[in-house]
Chains A and B, each alone.
Chain A
Amino acid sequence: MSRRLRLIAPVAFSAVLALGLSACSGTTKDSAATGGSTDSGSAVANPGAALKEGLKIAFLPKQLNNPYSDIEVSGGKAAVDEIKGTYKLVGPNDASASSQVSYINTLIQQQQDVIGIAANDPNAVCPSLNQARAAGIKIVAFDSDASKDCRDVFINQATTQGIGEQLVKMASTLAGGSGEIAILSATPNATNQNAWIEVMNTELKKPENANLKLVATVYGNDDDQKSFQEAQGLLQTHPDLKVIVSPTTVGIAATARYVSGSSYKGKVAVTGLGTPNQMRDYVKDTTVNQFALWNPADIGYLAGYAGAALASGQITGKEGETFKAGKLGEYKIGAGGEIVLGPPTIFDAKNIDQFNF
C-alpha cells in the first residue's frame, strides 16, 4: 500500500529527525552539564569612575500596561533622566515565559548598554541574556530574578528579615507596646508569608516585645470572603485583641473592610502589607493607621542606577562592591549579586495620596 506509506512518511520523518538530533549518548538530568557562565570574573570594579552620560538603558518588565510594572519603570525613567541617559521601555502584552525573549533579542540588535528585566521565567530568558552579555550589555534583574548566571545584579525589593521586623514594629507601635495581637495570613503553606511569620515570632521573643502577646495565627487563603470571616472569628474569640497583622494584600483589605463596618472600629488596629489603592478608603476613614509595602518606583529607580554603575565600571556585580543610587543613597552588593532596596515603605494618612498603585 504505497498510499499508506506516504501517510506514515511524515511521522517517521519527525521521529527520525528527533532521534537524529542527538548523538544518542543517553543524556539524563544527573549527567547533564548545565550551561551558562559568568564573564564578570576578569573585570575589576573602579568605584571612583564617573557615571557615563548618554547610556542607553532599556527596561523590560513582565508585561506592559500592568499598574505595578508601570510604577516600577517610572522610577527607572526618573533615574535614567537624572544620569542623562536614554530611557526605553519595551515588553510583551502577556506575561508568558517566552514572550520576553524576542524583546531581549531586539535590544541586543539595538546595542543597548543596559537591560533592566523583571523575568517571567528565570531560565527561559537565560540564553538570550547571555547573548546580550556577550555583546557587552549589562543585565540588571529587578522584582523577579533571572538565573544567577545570566544577570549581573538583582534588585531585591525587601528581605524576609526586613519585612518581619517591620511588621512587628508596626504592631508594637499600634498596640502601644503591650497587648494581644493576631496574624491573619494567606494559605498555611505560603512560602513568603510563613518566612515572614517566622521572623515575627523570633522578634516577639525579644525583651523589648515581652508585653506583646501573639494569641492566634489564622489563614484566609488569600480569598476575600474567607479572610473576612476569619477576621470576624478572631474578634469574637479574642475580644481584647489590639492589633490584627495581615502580611498579605488580600487579607489586610478584607480585615480592614470587616473592622471598618463593625463596632470594633477605632478599638482594633489593622496593619500589614497592602497596596495604597486598596487601602486608601480605610486609611481615610481612620480604620487603618499605618501599613507597609515596598515602593515599586524605588525598585526601578535603583535598577536604573545599578545599571549605570555597571556600564560605567563602578561595579561588576561582586559581593561587597558599593555604588551611589541618587536620592536613595549608597548601596552595597550582597551575596549572589543581590542588592536589597531596604526596609519597606510605611503608608499612612500623610503620604498615601502620593502613591497610585
Chain B
Amino acid sequence: MSDLLKRFTGWDVAVIAVLVLFVVVASATVDNFASARNLSFLVLDLAPVLLIALPMTLIIVTGEIDLSVASTLGLSSAVMGALWDGGMSIELIVVVCLVLGAVLGAVNGLFVTVFGLPSLAVTIGTLALYRGLALVVLGDAAVAQFPGTWTGWVIGGNAGIPNIVWPLLLLLVVFGVVLHATPFGRSLFVMGANKEAARFGGIRVARTTFWLYVVCGVVSALAGILWTLRYSSARADNGSGLELAVVAAVLLGGVSIFGGRGTLWGVLGGVTLLAALQNALRLADVSNEALTVVTGLLLIISVLAPNAVGAIRSAASRRRPPGGAATSPAPPDPPAPASSPPVQSDPSSSPAVRSS
C-alpha cells in the first residue's frame, strides 16, 4: 500500500485539486454551470476523450504513443454507417466495428513490435491511412436514422445521471485496477522507465505492447460507435483531431510523455478539467480564440510544472547526504550533474614507462 501512496507523484493530485477548485468557482460565478442538464452535457462532451484516454494512458506509460485513435473512431463510424445503410442489424454492426477496431490496433501493434518501428511514425501513418479508408467507405455522405432506442439511450439518463456514465465508470475501474493493482500494470511502468531492463527482467515487452495497441483500437472503435449514436450521424470525418485532445488531456493529467510515470486518476482529472474549462468558458461567453489560448497555456504549464518540481527536488536531494536521496522519487529527466568531477590529467600520475 505504501507503494500506492508513493505513486501520488504530486502533479496528479494538484490537477484534481485545481479541478475541484475550478468547479467550485465556476458553480458560484457562471450561470447554469452546476445545473443537472449542463453536467450531463459535460459528461457527454468528455465521454469520447475519456474513453480513448484510458488505453492511451497505458500506452504512454510504456513510453509509446498512438495517434491513430481518432481515425480509428472515424473509420468505425463510417463502417457502422455503411453497414446500417446496407440493412445489417445494429447488434451485429457493433460486434463488427469492435472486431475492426481490434484489427486496426493489431496493425499498429505489428508495425511497432514485429518491425520495430517507432510508434510515433507508425501511428501518424495509420492516422492518415485509417481516415483515408473512412472516406473510401462513406465518402462525404452521412448516414442517419439509427434506432431511436439506441440513440436515445446514449444521450438519455436516469435521475439526472446520464446513461453514458455507467460504461465509462466500468471501463475506468477496469483500466485503473489493471494499471495500478496488478503485476501487469507494474510491468508497464517498468517498460516505460527502461525497455532493456524490462526485457532482461522477463517482461514480454513486444507481446504486451502489441496487446495494448489492440485494446486501444477496440476502445477507439467503441468510442466511434458511441459517437455515431450520440450525434445520430455516421460520417467519415467524425472525431477529426480528437487524438490531440486525448494526448493533451493525458499529459495534463500528469502522465510523462517519456513513459514510466502517471496515474489514471490524474488522467481522469485532466480530461474533466479540460472539458469543464471549455464548458464553463463557453457558458460565460468567452470567445473561441481565448478558449484555445487558455487550453494551450494550461498544457504548457502542465508539461513545465512537473519538470520544474523534479528539477527542484533533484537540486534539493543533491544537497542532502547520499542516503536521503534514495527515498525521493526519481525525477522525470536525468538531472544534469551540478558539477563535473575534476578530470585527472596530471601527467605525473600516469604509469611509468618501463624500459627493458
Interface residues of A (CB under 8 A from B): 3, 6-7, 9-11, 13-15, 17-19, 21-24, 26-30, 32-35, 64, 88, 90-94, 96-98, 101-103, 105-106, 108-111, 121-124, 126-127, 147
Contact = CB atoms under 8 A, between A and B. Distances in A.
A178 to B, nearest CB: 43
A123 B167 contact: no
B276 to A, nearest CB: 12
A27 B149 contact: yes
A26 to B, nearest CB: 5
A79 B77 CA distance: 40
29 contacts: A6-B178, A7-B208, A10-B175, A10-B215, A11-B214, A14-B98, A14-B222, A17-B170, A22-B91, A22-B150, A23-B149, A28-B89, A35-B232, A88-B285, A90-B285, A91-B288, A92-B288, A93-B288, A97-B142, A97-B233, A97-B238, A98-B227, A102-B279, A106-B279, A109-B32, A109-B41, A123-B145, A124-B142, A124-B231
B244 interface: no
A121 B235 contact: yes
The 10 residue pairs across chains A and B that have the minimum distance between CB atoms? A35-B148, A123-B144, A124-B233, A124-B231, A32-B147, A109-B32, A105-B41, A123-B233, A27-B147, A18-B94
Given A10-B178, A14-B222, A27 B91 contact: yes
Contacts of A94: 240-241
A29 B45 contact: no
B18 interface: no
A91 B288 CA distance: 8
B95 A18 contact: yes
A98 to B, nearest CB: 5
B237 A97 contact: yes
B90 interface: yes
Contacts of B171: 10, 13-14, 17
Given A14-B222, A109-B31, 10 more contacts: A3-B183, A10-B219, A11-B214, A18-B95, A21-B167, A32-B90, A96-B237, A105-B38, A124-B142, A124-B233
Contacts of B232: 35, 123-124, 126-127
A10 B174 contact: yes
Nearest to A64: B288
B94 A19 contact: yes
B196 interface: no
Contacts of A23: 149
Contacts of A34: 145, 148
Contacts of A28: 87-90
B111 interface: no
A168 B237 CA distance: 39
A126 B155 CA distance: 12
A101 B227 CA distance: 12
A232 to B, nearest CB: 31
A5 to B, nearest CB: 10
Nearest to B148: A35
A96 B235 CA distance: 10
B333 interface: no
Interface residues of B, number: 66
B231 A98 contact: yes
B102 A21 contact: no
Interface string B139-160: 0001011111111110100000
Contact of A15 (B95, B240, B288): B95
Interface in B1-56: 31-32, 35, 37-38, 41, 45, 55
B38 A29 contact: no
B94 A21 contact: yes
B150 A27 contact: yes
A88 B231 CA distance: 24
Contact of A6 (B142, B167, B182, B222): B182
Contacts of A121: 142, 231, 233, 235
A106 B85 contact: no
B283 interface: yes
A32 B145 contact: yes
Contacts of B144: 122-123, 126, 147
A35 to B, nearest CB: 4
Nearest to B229: A21
B91 A19 contact: yes
A19 B95 contact: yes
A109 B39 CA distance: 11
A17 B148 CA distance: 19
Given A64-B288, A123-B142, A18 B98 contact: yes
Contacts of B230: 127
Interface string B274-309: 000011001101001000100000000000000000
A135 to B, nearest CB: 9
Interface in B255-279: 278-279
B174 A13 contact: yes
Contacts of A124: 142, 231-233, 235
Contacts of B288: 64, 91-93
Contacts of B239: 98
Contacts of B149: 22-23, 27, 33
Contacts of A26: 89, 91
Given A106-B283, A121-B231, A24 B91 contact: yes
A106 B275 CA distance: 13
